[in-house]
Structures are given as C-alpha cells and as structure tokens.
A and B are shown apart, each in its own frame.
Chain A
Amino acid sequence: MSQANERSTPRLPGGFSLPPFGVHQWLALAIVCVALWALGLLWLGMQAGSQWMGTWQHDLRFHAYMEGGNQTKLKHLADQLALLPGVSSARVVPHQEMASWLHDWLGSGAVDEDELLRSLPGTVEITPGSETGEFLYSDIADEVRRLGATLNSGEMHLVQVQRWLANIERLLWFVTLILVLAMAIIISNTLRMILLARADEVQLMRLLGANEWFVRMPFILEGMLLGSGAGVLAWFLLWPLILGAASWFAALDVSLNGFILLAPMVFGGGMAGGLGAWVATMRLPNESTATT
C-alpha cells in the first residue's frame, strides 16, 4: 500500500489520534441521550408545575366562612387562627369589601346585590406565612371546624396539589437515580465490548509495565465523555419542546428555564458514564490471558 493511499485520522496535540468511535459507542450515545432527554423533560415538567403552583401560592389565601356569625364570633375565629404557627395573619373581611367584590363579580347585572350580600356568610381571610409546616392546613381546618365555621374546599385542593407536587418531586429523584444507574449499566456494557475489542492494547500496556490507573483511565475518560456528550445532545433536543410550548406556558404565567438543566445533564451524564466505565474496568483482562 502506498503512503498516499494510507488511511489517516485526526491527530490530537502530541501526535495521538482519537480512539476509534464505532457502532457500539454511537448506540450507547443514542440510548443514554434518550434517557437523559426523558429525564430532562420530566424535570422541566416539574419546573413548570412548581412555577404554576408558585404563582398561585404567591396570592394564596384561605377563607373560612361562618353562617350567621356575628362580628364577635368572627373576630374570635380570626384571633384563634392568627395564633396558629405558620399563619401570618387572619382578619375578618369587612362588609364593604365583600360588597365591592360582589359588585365587581356580578357586574351591572340586574341582581339585588343587597339581598345577596345579606345571604353571604361572615368571612375570615387567612394568610399563610412564608414557611408553612406540613400540618398547617389540617391545623387550620381543625380550628375552623372547632369554632363552627367551614373552610373553602377549593383552596384546600390547591394545598393537596402542592403535596402531590412534593411527592412527585421525591418520585422524580428516585426515577432519576434508577435512570442514572441504567445509563451507567449501558455505558458499562458498551465499554466491556470496547475493552474486548481493545484487549490487545490493554494487555500490551500491562506487559510494558503500566499501572492499573494508566490502563483504566482512558476507558473511564471515554465513558465520561460518552455520558457528557449524550447530556449535551439531550439538552439541545429539549429546546424544540421548550420553544414550541413557550406561548402555552406563558398563558399559565410559567416561563421554563432550559439553561438551568445544562449543567446537571452534562455532569450527570458524565458521572453516569464514569461510574459505568469504572465498573467495566474493574476486571480488565489479566496477564495470564495476555501471555498464554
């Protein structure tokens, strides 16, 4: 073969060429990329949910109603509720404020507002503090019930949604852990195949007196690069969805931040790759297989 017809590969500084990137690596890259993309999507959903809840929570007030309650009873209810830990304030909603709200709500319809207003129960508005304990909402409900009032159930549902979101977030961490382990296994298997293909190189390095880390490090770096590369790719693939759904999310007062996911996806992928490579290189071909 003449020199002119020889194959050539891009050289790194120092004269070294990149390790061969074959079908196994492409496959691992694609699978890990899909897994990371799915994870990114789930965390984006979580971000959207948290933001949506956050905007509601920002204005969140609970309302307790007391049928036929006089001002004294309402005042007592408000005072008792204000004493609860986690409650920022509680006040009796004045009659004029209720009338104004009712007027705004009904518009200029031909309804007898005064009669309607008379039929409305006495209302106490409760504002939660910035740090609410796990049992605040049940404490409020208990206290309201004890004093013969009722709590707005719709507002309590929001609290339920918030709890669900907290549970979903915990579940998401678990799913993340499982997927990271799955990615590590995929990269580990890929590297095992690469190791088999490059067994000669490993054996030769050992026969030349290379220590364990000299032999393992290129494979661990390759695993980390595979994981990080998949992370970058997955991150880019999130953008069509982020941009496509931007207007829809804007209507919900939610603005997704894709940039915040870049570092976790790249470093997470790299860590999963490194872990997989570390496992794959735990049992490298030994000298007896190298020399017999």
Chain B
Amino acid sequence: MIQARQLMLRYPTGKTALSGVTLSIPKGRFVYLTGESGAGKSSLLRCLYGGARPTSGQLTVQDLDMRLAQEHQVRKLRRNIGVIFQNHRLLFSRTVFENVALPLRVQGWKPERLVARARKVLEFVGLEDRLWSFPEALSGGEQQRVAIARAMSTHPPLILADEPTGNLDIGTARRIMDYLMELNQQGSTVIMATHDLQLMETHPGDLLCLHAGALAETLQHMPPAIHDHDDGHEYVTGEGI
C-alpha cells in the first residue's frame, strides 16, 4: 500500500519536515503515527495524500510514485483516500449532508444516490438524524464523527487521520477510535497521527514513531509468541535513526 525510501521533505521556508524516512505499510493495517509536536506526523500524512511533494527519496502510495506523479494522477489518488483532517475541516456554511456528500460529488456520483449514501454513513457514526443540521449545531465529538463519515463515504482503501481525537474527552475519543477500528476491520488501511499512546491499550495497532522528521521507532502489534515474520502476514516495517 505505502512504501517510502529515504523520504525527505523540505518546505520552501527551508524547514526540513522529514528526513530519511524509510517505511513500508501493507494493506489492511491500523497504524499509529506518533511523535512530539513538529516531529513530522502531519507532513508525512500530507505527503501521503499529495498535499506536499517529497523533496528527495522515494514514496509510493497505492502504486503511485508521489514524486513523479502528475496532477491528474494525484487527484485520482486522492479520490481513493479518506482524510480526517486536524480540526476536521468541516464546512460550517453547509449542512451535514453536504459535507458528507462532497467527496461523492467530486467522484461524480448521481445526485439521487447521494442522500441514501450520506444517510448510511451517518448511520454508521450514529448521526443519521442530523443529516440536515449545520455543523455549528453539533458538539465537538459529533463534528469529528461527521468528519469520519465524510472520509468513509466513498469507502476508500486508505484512511488518513490527523489527530482525530485531539480535542475530545476520553469517552468520545474511544468512540471515535471504535469507528476507525471498524473501518479497518472492513478492509481500509488506517494511518492515524496522534499524541495519545494510551489509545493503543484499548485499540491496538502498529506504531510508527517520528522524532525530528525521522523515523525513531517501529512497533508491530502482535502477540509476542508469533513475533516473527514467517507467518505469512505482512507487517509494518521501518528504519529508525
């Protein structure tokens, strides 16, 4: 699903956000991306959905070389990625339905199918009765659930979540994690940037730890007894500093 080799990202301001990141994330995994603020979590996610182009190294997402990809290829890739942004980026002048239906409209779904699909994904996050509400009328947790509904509306094979539980209380955060876990169990690969490692206790997953733009640690979630790579499964790998 995702391969990076000596990935480097430097912004025009001169700041190096990622430096020499090498990793491999197979399909169907649930990956926590963690590290201190400014470690490069959001930058890595941005590279994964084409919001920033790598300065050097190699990055392949769903078989697309992100350094060499043309704009139309990146646009096509984005339609196969569900992104839950930091601060969820909901459109407050639009209804919940319009927010959730936006990726479907981008993909050219017929208008008559939109309401049914939006209702279905909102049902998944328990907000089917808020279809015609505006986001301002929802609580923080509900807004985050709308963001999840929007990200999953097209049933993408890859979901990127940038600190989706950042400003939520523990109970709401766990519920959000339940939804993400369920999406993962339905087959989507989920990569989630977070500071909150306690979530791993209740919602286990692989861990990629970034430090100062480089990969510091890689942990695979699996029982210790089967902690070898000859069991036929693919696991997250990475090279630390």
Which chain B residues lie closer than 8 Å to A210 at the CB level? 75, 106
Q: In the complex, A207 Cα to B46 Cα: how many Å?
A: 10
The residue from A14, A201, A207, A211 contacting B91, defined by CB atoms under 8 A apart:
A201
Contact, CB under 8 Å: A6 / B134: yes
Contact, CB under 8 Å: B83 / A8: no
State the main secondary structure of chain A at its contact with B: loop
| CB-CB nearest in chain B for A287 | B51
Q: How far is the CB of B161 from chain A (nearest CB, A)?
A: 14
Contact, CB under 8 Å: B83 / A6: no
Most buried by B among A3, A8, A198, A209: A209
From residue 194 to 237 of chain B, which have CB atoms closer than 8 A to chain A? none
Which chain B residues lie closer than 8 Å to A211 at the CB level? 72, 75
Q: Given A15-B98, A292-B11, is A209 in contact with B106 using a C-beta cutoff of 8 Å?
A: yes
Contact, CB under 8 Å: A209 / B115: no
User: Number of A-B pairs whose CB atoms are under 8 Å?
Assistant: 80
Chain A 254-273 near chain B by CB (<8 Å), digits 1 or 0: 00000000000000000000
Contact, CB under 8 Å: A207 / B111: no
Q: How far is the CB of A254 from chain B (nearest CB, A)?
A: 50
Chain B 69-98 near chain A by CB (<8 Å), digits 1 or 0: 000101111110001010001010111011
Q: How far is the CB of A197 from chain B (nearest CB, A)?
A: 9
Which chain B residues lie closer than 8 Å to A16 at the CB level? 98
Contact, CB under 8 Å: A6 / B78: no
Contact, CB under 8 Å: B51 / A207: yes
Chain A 196-224 near chain B by CB (<8 Å), digits 1 or 0: 00101100110111110010000000000
Residue B125, interface by CB 8 Å: no
From residue 97 to 136 of chain B, which have CB atoms closer than 8 A to chain A? 97-98, 101-103, 105-107, 111-112, 114-115, 118, 129-130, 132-134, 136
Q: How far is the CB of B201 from chain A (nearest CB, A)?
A: 32
Residue B32, interface by CB 8 Å: no
Residue B173, interface by CB 8 Å: no
Which chain A residues lie closer than 8 Å to B89 at the CB level? 200, 204
Contact, CB under 8 Å: A205 / B102: yes
Q: How far is the CB of A29 from chain B (nearest CB, A)?
A: 19
Which chain B residues lie closer than 8 Å to A209 at the CB level? 74-79, 103, 106-107
Q: Hey, which bits of chain A sit against chain B, CB under 8 A?
A: 1, 3, 6-9, 11, 13-17, 19-20, 198, 200-201, 204-205, 207-211, 214, 287-288, 290-292
Other A-B contacts than A3-B137, A6-B133, A201-B94, 16 sampled, CB-CB below 8 A, are A8-B132, A11-B132, A13-B111, A15-B95, A15-B98, A15-B111, A198-B93, A200-B89, A201-B91, A207-B83, A207-B85, A209-B78, A209-B107, A211-B72, A214-B105, A291-B52
